[in-house]
Amino acid sequence: MDALTLARPGRLPGRRRRVAALGVGPSFRVVVLVLTTFYFLVPLLASTIFSFQGVGGRPSLASYQAVFAEPLLWPTLTLSLEIALGTIVLTLLLILPTVVWVNLRLPHLRRLMETLSLLPLATPAVVLVLGIFAAFRGLPQFIIGTPVIVALEYVVLAMPYSYRVIDAGVQAIDVHTLVDASRSLGASWPQVLLRVLMPNLQGAILSASFLTLALCLGEYAVASLLTFNTFPVWLVQVGLNRAGEAVALSTFALVFTWGLLLVISFGTARRRRRPRVAAARGGQVKA
Amino acid sequence: MDVGTAAASASSHAAHAQPVPVELIELSRWFGPVAALDSFSLRIEPGELVALLGPSGCGKTTALRALGGLEQLDGGRVLLGVVDITDLPAHRRAMGMVFQAYSLFPNMTAAENVGFGLKMRKVAADQRRRRADTLLELVGLSTQADRYPHQLSGGQQQRVALARALAIQPPVLLLDEPLSALDARVRSQLRDEIRRIQLEVGTTTLFVTHDQDEALSIADRVGVMRAGKLEQCDTPSEIYARPTTAFVAEFVGSVNRLPGVIGADHSVDVVGCRLPLPGSGNGHVSGSRVDVLVRPETVKLRPDPDGRGRVTSRHFLGPVVRVAVALADGAEIVGTVLAAEGEALFPGTGVSVELASAPLFVVEAADPA
Amino acid sequence: MAENAAPALTSPGERPGASSRRWRQARPLLGLAPFAIYLGIFLGVPAVSVVIDAFLGSRGQFTLANIQASFSGIYLTSYGASLELSSISAVIASIAGLLIAIAISSSQNPTLRRLITTGSGVLANTGGVPLAFAFIAAVGNFGLITGLLSRVGLNPYDHGFSLYTLTGLTVVYLYFLVPLMVLVILPAVDGLQRQWFEASASLGAQRRHFWRYVGLPVLAPAFLAALLVLFVDAFAAYATADAITDGLIPLVPIQIGSLVAGNVLPGEAHLGAALGLGMIVIVALAATIYATVQRRTARWMR
């Protein structure tokens, strides 16, 4: 079997991507997308409008002003961000070398690892908390009593997403050639990782970090049941009494996150194109 | 995998009523400011295999897809026989298409793939299976009928694709670079078989390729395209020996571009030889400077210490030797000589340079920038 | 050579050096150690503890009482409600997500695609809390849309709709399930080769024939797998339901949550573990189906 025909679809040499019809007409697209936009935009719009409502139904910034005046806003937000930072660092430290190693030395285990990475999905967050109570009660205070345990568990919760993103990124670059080339030029393993691989994995690292950040800022079950006052936990408490503020903050968080992700996505798309093109051309030359 | 005998018996099943001519009239297709097809016209005679050849982006694939109904046209008409099918959607044109790769349905076996077109025509299952078996025998894959595409090699997949296209007895067969994704050995093997099957079945065929050898070796006529236009459409030998434009002359095969001056009596002086102007070289004013295109195999080189040229490089290619020679005035000429004649031609040797026949093509001198 | 270093590991009859070869072959596996250890500690240990705890009584003895209790009364209702909510929302979301994925995959507008994929990334991964509040603001009791509709005389709450019921929750769940579906199924939809469609057209197939004989069959395994992912995600969802209903609707995760947070009677902790075991079993079942389906997909696509 010749390698070219078993290459991943879409890598045909010299093939320009043209107008693709793929069996659905423009009317299908329009209907589906209009309905989708409607369904997803309406509640968001409604909550945005709601958040700008003041007493007597007149537009006002009262909710937002109240939110930013809340004493617990910054402490809880900071706590969540600190946890997120810890989670991201731990995730990269753990997953990045593992993924590179698997792709490099254990390619036959790639499938298995992919499935393993999905394992955390099998233990819902609530069950995980149950397990933490059951098993880790005896751990020293500086682990179990502080947000450290939250970050440690968030790494596990984020793993299905972070592993897949990083794995996809590593598979997209020709990791064997890069490692062989840099090692033959005298680079040590840390240098290879830091100076050769990571720059080429910027997109994947950024995506994984961002997904982890989103998860940490939004994770509720573990944090609340372990009684840590993170941002989403506090948000729910606010919501119990001051719905308007909670809505304002939620809307703000959603819109802000989406905008940030869009910016990052547009930014990485431009950068990603270069290493990919080189890899594709390299693939052609080899074949 | 001898398809000869199988083809003989199968062709009677595979042949259809009467092969039809195809006419593409002034096709135009624009992608923004770029013309993929620019008033492109071509007629394919019944049962003929025309190869469309050209550089990447010249529009050859667009022309084929327009014939197949897969491209919107901005202008022009498509005639099948005498029927105008320009506005007919792809699924009603009944043309057999073979793509570069990945066109077999992955969820069906080879036999089911081949029978798909018949299924769309509501042919009964047992009849479909029989016809699929016949065609798979024609392409030499009767033992693979119940395999899935991912279990077949690239060459085998393309054979199945060909069988599938022929199953519906199409009036026209469209082949879009069917061999480009295969490796070299498989490519040449399959190329000859495609031609043999096409001759047996007698279908009017359009074959798109960027590989010159493919085009020249199997086509009845070759159409050379550039920038959406048809430069020349002729038999392979005419294309090679009597190009009508400089582009065709330079695109097909290799060519030397040498400075020359038009002389009296329809002649041209180039590298010290006076040669008759080729048929296409009329209308040049005596004394004007021109570029003369000369094929390497028409350059006669003999070792001569007093000769005008000096060998600068030599490449042994087996049956022939390609020799690059630097001339006194700075020009360089490349000649291809038979291995026996080229034995003494090493870098540094003085050689005499002679051009035996009329040049391939003569064109206005390109102004030095 | 290293053969002399570990002669004792070679079993009689084996060629000398086989043990060091085995050792060299096994060495790359060491690279997985940090990953395996981490997962083992922070996932394996809690999970196993839950399973063990489910079978323990208040005095540490082995008992099936917890399991029995977890399938009775309100807990049984919770299982029913959770399964109903998860399956219905998963099915609806999977179909909707598939249609959207097809729409953006077939579109040649890269901006549209990026907009939707990033939006999906946000909605699928952000916790249910902001989502819950957005919905309360929109269609809650005093929501904006509720208000608008009641002014027209069509207050949905008068017609049996309530955000604070299973139906209402389904609507909210769709909000993160549909984007998740889009993200999960998009690679498979992208994998539908344009050539398949064009080839089928050249063979006389109209659009609906293509989808019926090629498109949907090829997508079927991936669709089923995605459906299972959605089901598990919906089943395990906690934040959204809690934020909206504040524990009023009986769902298994909510029950576990209240048992953990309440932590009242020592026996109840084990009951929570029994419920947790139930969740793990259900999820494990879905996961096995997912794995089998994935293997079948791999056969075609490789």
pLDDT in tens, A90-142: 999 999 989 988 888 888 888 788 878 877 877 788 888 888 877 877 777 77
Q: Which of A251, A255, A250 is nearest to A220 (CA)?
A: A250
Residue of A nearest to C188 (CA): A9
A194 CB-near residues (< 8 Å, 6+ apart): none
Q: Is the pLDDT of residue A269 over 70?
A: no
CB C103 within 8 A of CB C111: no
How many C-alpha atoms does A217 have within 13 Å on its Cβ side? 22
CB C163 within 8 A of CB C136: yes
3-state secondary structure of C276: helix
B10 CB-near residues (< 8 Å, 6+ apart): B134, B135, B137, B138, B200
**Strand partners for B75:** B28
Question: Does B10 or B48 have the greater pLDDT score?
Answer: B48
At B211-263, the pLDDT tens digits run: 999 999 999 999 999 999 999 999 999 999 999 998 999 999 889 898 888 88
Residues of A in contact with B182 (CB under 8 A): 2, 4-5
Residues of C in contact with A43 (CB under 8 A): 134-135, 137-139, 145, 175
Q: To the nearest whole angstrom, how far is the Cα of B29 from the nearest Cα of chain C?
A: 18
Q: Quick check: C205 and B93 CB within 8 A?
A: no
Q: Which of B365-369, C32-36, C161-165 has the highest mean pLDDT?
A: C32-36
Give the pLDDT mean for B16-39.
87
Q: Is the pLDDT of residue A273 over 70?
A: no
CB B129 within 8 A of CB B115: yes
For chain B, the residues whose C-beta falls within 8 A of a C-beta of chain A are 56, 100-102, 153-155, 157, 180-183, 186
Q: Is the pLDDT of residue C121 over 50?
A: yes
Q: What is the share, in percent, of chain C residues with pLDDT greater than 70?
A: 86
Residue of C nearest to B161 (CA): C199
- Computed over every residue of chain B, the mean pLDDT equals 87
Q: To the nearest whole angstrom, how far is the Cα of C62 from the nearest Cα of chain B?
A: 51
Q: Is B80 on the interface with C (CB under 8 A)?
A: no
Q: Quick check: C195 and B148 CB within 8 A?
A: no
Which chains contact B through at least 3 pairs of Cβ atoms less than 8 Å apart?
A, C
Residues of B in contact with C200 (CB under 8 A): 91, 105, 116
The first and second tokens of residue A193, run together, are 């990782």
- Which pLDDT value is given to residue B11? 41
- Which pLDDT value is given to residue B214? 93
* Whole-Å CA distances, B210 to B56, B203, B325, C26, C269: 7, 22, 30, 49, 73
CA–CA dist B132, B115 (Å, integer): 6
CB nearest C203 (choices: B69, B100, B116)? B116
Residues of A in contact with C191 (CB under 8 A): 9
Q: To the nearest whole angstrom, how far is the Cα of C125 from the nearest Cα of chain B?
A: 33
- Which pLDDT value is given to residue C266? 59
Q: Which of A100-104, A249-253, C257-261, C269-273 has the highest mean pLDDT?
A: A100-104
For chain A, the straight-line distance linking the first and the last C-alpha, in angstroms and rounded, comes to 13
The first and second tokens of residue A114, run together, are 């992919």
Residues of B in contact with A9 (CB under 8 A): 102
Q: Strands (DSSP E) along chain B, which ranges? A: 22-31, 34-44, 49-53, 75-80, 83-84, 96-98, 172-176, 204-209, 221-226, 229-234, 256-263, 267-270, 273-276, 289-294, 299-303, 309-316, 320-327, 332-338, 350-355, 361-364
In a mutational test of the C interface, the residue from B102, B107, B172 whose CB has the highest number of chain C CBs within 10 Å is B107
Q: Quick check: A4 and B181 CB within 8 A?
A: yes
Q: Is the pLDDT of residue B8 over 50?
A: no
The first and second tokens of residue A73, run together, are 């806003």
CB nearest A49 (choices: C46, C144, C284)? C144
CA–CA dist A182, B303 (Å, integer): 50
Q: To the nearest whole angstrom, how far is the Cα of B96 from the nearest Cα of chain C?
A: 6
Q: Which of A210-214, A237-241, B8-12 has the highest mean pLDDT?
A: A210-214
Q: Is B120 on the interface with C (CB under 8 A)?
A: yes
Q: Is the pLDDT of residue B321 over 80?
A: yes
* Residue reference for tokens 């003929």: B48
Of B51-55, B357-361, C230-234, the poorest mean pLDDT is in B357-361
For chain C, the straight-line distance linking the first and the last C-alpha, in angstroms and rounded, comes to 41
Cα–Cα–Cα angle for A161, A260, A247, nearest 5°? 90
Q: To the nearest whole angstrom, how far is the Cα of B130 from the nearest Cα of chain A?
A: 28
